Amino acid sequence: MIMKKSTQLARQIIRAVGCANGLAGRQLGCENAVEVIKASPYFANVQQKVPLKWGKTIEEVNTGRHANALTGVTQTCRQLAHETRQVIENKEELLVFGGDHSCAIGTWSGVATALRPAGDIGLIWVDAHMDAHTPDSSDTGNIHGMPVAHLLGYGDKNLARIGDRLPKLLPHNLCMVGIRDYESAEQELLERLGVRIFYAHEVDRRGIQDVLQEAQYLVTRNTIGYGLSIDLDGFDVSYAPAVGTPSDDGINALEFIKALLTIDLTKLIATEIVEFLPKFDDNQRTSEQLVSSLVEYIYKTKEFQMQSVNEIVQRVGKCDESVRVSQSL
């Protein structure tokens, strides 16, 4: 009976929420990612291994491209924040498949506001880019390069105040991993705020396992839990060719997946995977396979860790009961 209860706790439902958005990116096409993932034979195989159920897919609101996309992105992110907040309040695991990375404003605004009464959240942001522009600092006006700034409370007020008026992330609870393609305005903002940035050269020198372990410590020391926001362009293009803003010398995806096995995922609140641009994938569908592998290894590892924790708790409870019985005799 104890083992059955423990397994049930470990196999909590994972609710997958989609966001079919791409207008805020440099190239169109990410809006098709959710549809491709749903139909993927690789992902179908993953669904046989983890207790995943699809929820709602948010369709983006089209008000134009670049700077003109601002109103549409705001409406889209509000809808996404509503969905992610509901999943968290229902106490389900949250997995978001986005299009371009502007959807992160919606994802983490919903998570942060849902958990605000309990405490702050942390976030590990895996990316080639800082994504920390504001509308005033961006030359392109592409909002997929702005979510971090808005989650920290900077930039357009309507985007920064989705869910509530407070910043969704505090700088010391955010870690950026794999950064190698950025502009001075973004770097100045993040470094001034004290965000921990693991640049690509540090990842190369130390190894992704060491970096992720430190990042996980930093984002959990002052929080109730943390999230993972994974941009596929954070990885080397040989592992993730299907992205709109590729950058050389990225993270080795195989080493990243191995590193997941070594970090504590018991406090993982939600995962977000973005910037998959299916039309650029190769004949082996390498990027599609990577998305599937990330989901499988994150949630199978978390399941194992949670089951181990629950079994330890049960054993400790049995020992405590034995002590109380012996003391009463």
pLDDT given for residue 309 in this prediction: 79
Reply yes or no on whether 89 is catalytic: no
- The answer to whether the CB of 139 falls within 8 A of the CB of 69 is no
Tell me how far apart the alpha carbons of residues 111 and 130 are, in angstroms, rounded to a whole number. 21
- 234-238, 313-317, 321-325: least confident range: 321-325
Reply yes or no on whether 82 is catalytic: no
Reply yes or no on whether 131 is catalytic: yes
Tell me how far apart the alpha carbons of residues 196 and 210 are, in angstroms, rounded to a whole number. 14
**For residues 128-140, average pLDDT:** 97
pTM: 0.92
Q: Which of 233, 272, 281, 296 is flagged as catalytic?
A: 233
**Tokens read off for 76:** 């889209």
Q: Which domains does the chain have, with CATH numbers?
A: 2-328 (3.40.800.10)
pLDDT for 274-294, tens place per residue?
Answer: 999 999 999 999 999 999 999
Q: Which of 144, 150, 281, 288 is flagged as catalytic?
A: 144
Comparing CA positions, the residue from 88, 163, 73, 170 lying closest to residue 123 is 170
pLDDT for 212-267, tens place per residue?
Answer: 999 999 999 999 999 999 999 999 999 999 999 999 999 999 999 999 999 999 99
pLDDT given for residue 315 in this prediction: 66
Reply yes or no on whether 172 is catalytic: no
Comparing CA positions, the residue from 67, 73, 177, 65 lying closest to residue 129 is 177
Reply yes or no on whether 233 is catalytic: yes
Reply yes or no on whether 201 is catalytic: no
pLDDT given for residue 12 in this prediction: 85
Q: Is the model's pLDDT at 162 over the cut of 90?
A: yes
Q: Which of 31, 100, 272, 275 is flagged as catalytic?
A: 275
pLDDT for 96-121, tens place per residue?
Answer: 999 999 999 999 999 999 999 999 99
The region that residue 153 occupies, defined by phi over 0 for left and psi between -120 and 50 for alpha, beta otherwise, is left
Q: To which residue do tokens 């992902």 refer?
A: 43
**For residues 129-144, average pLDDT:** 97
Q: Is the model's pLDDT at 7 over the cut of 70?
A: no
- 156-165, 177-186, 201-210, 304-313: least confident range: 304-313
H or E stretch covering 97: strand 93-97
- The answer to whether the CB of 174 falls within 8 A of the CB of 195 is yes
Q: Which of 231, 272, 288, 296 is flagged as catalytic?
A: 231
Reply yes or no on whether 101 is catalytic: yes
Q: Which of 131, 156, 186, 272 is flagged as catalytic?
A: 131
Q: Which of 60, 83, 120, 127 is flagged as catalytic?
A: 127
Q: Which of 60, 93, 101, 156 is flagged as catalytic?
A: 101
Q: Is the model's pLDDT at 3 over the cut of 50?
A: no
- The answer to whether the CB of 133 falls within 8 A of the CB of 146 is yes
